[in-house]
A and B are shown apart, each in its own frame.
Chain A
Amino acid sequence: GAGVSQSPSNKVTEKGKDVELRCDPISGHTALYWYRQSLGQGLEFLIYFQGNSAPDKSGLPSDRFSAERTGGSVSTLTIQRTQQEDSAVYLCASSWGRTNEKLFFGSGTQLSVL
């Protein structure tokens, strides 16, 4: 596609429910990144995929968070048993996978946990 696509753009869920957030990177991009931006907070790193290498999961805040990337393209971020503190904008980015290059961001998913 022309850009990084994320869905849904907005998600409202009840505390304790599981949610799945989807990211479609730019075609041909081998690197995929997930970040989140909480209200009043800066961006924080969650997870990074590069080609077939093991992902860097060091930013995931708890074991309720997981992500996968199927076929080296689409990625899904799953949050189990959501908590109110999970409310944030979840941003996906992709890039060609070269060292220290610019990132291309999606529009994000606004997650609200009630």
Chain B
Amino acid sequence: KNEVEQSPQNLTAQEGEFITINCSYSVGISALHWLQQHPGGGIVSLFMLSSGKKKHGRLIATINIQEKHSSLHITASHPRDSAVYICAVRLDYGGSQGNLIFGKGTKLSVKP
């Protein structure tokens, strides 16, 4: 079983829809990252969370440490949001800041 599980693997939405991508992990963590990878391959760091909720524009990320779960929400989705969204965690024991465990990603396609 992967330590970081994302769902769904693939998601197709219509422009304007509210989107939720989920990330569950089975280990204790000190931080969780949400990353966006566009079709060209470039990766952008969207959020780093250790508790609570963060918001940036139309993107909202939440984390529930007790339930070992995080969600990434996109409001009023747009075709330019089409990308692979990747969840990554840093373990809370051992390992360095760079030693992240990555989920396999959620491929989002937003249709006009």
Contact = CB atoms under 8 A, between A and B. Distances in A.
Given A100-B90, A102-B48, A105-B43, A42 B102 contact: yes
Contact of A45 (B33, B50, B99, B105): B99
Interface residues of A, number: 26
Contact of A89 (B41, B88, B96, B97): B41
A31 interface: yes
Contacts of B47: 102
Contacts, number: 63
A59 interface: yes
Contacts of A93: 43
Given A102-B33, A103-B33, A42 B104 contact: yes
Interface in A97-114: 99-105, 107-108
Interface in A38-84: 41-45, 47-48, 50, 56, 58-59
Nearest to B101: A45
B95 A58 contact: yes
Interface residues of B, number: 27
Interface in B7-36: 30-31, 33, 35
Contacts of B104: 41-42
Given A43-B86, A102-B33, A33 B98 contact: yes
Interface in B78-112: 86, 88, 90, 95-105
Contacts of B43: 91, 93, 105
Contacts of B99: 45, 48, 56, 58-59
Given A100-B30, A102-B33, A43 B102 contact: yes
A31 B98 contact: yes
Interface in B45-59: 45, 47-48, 50
A46 B97 CA distance: 12
Q: Ordered nearest first, which 5 A-B pairs have the shortest CB separation?
A: A48-B98, A56-B96, A100-B31, A105-B43, A102-B45
Interface of B: 30-31, 33, 35, 40-45, 47-48, 50, 86, 88, 90, 95-105
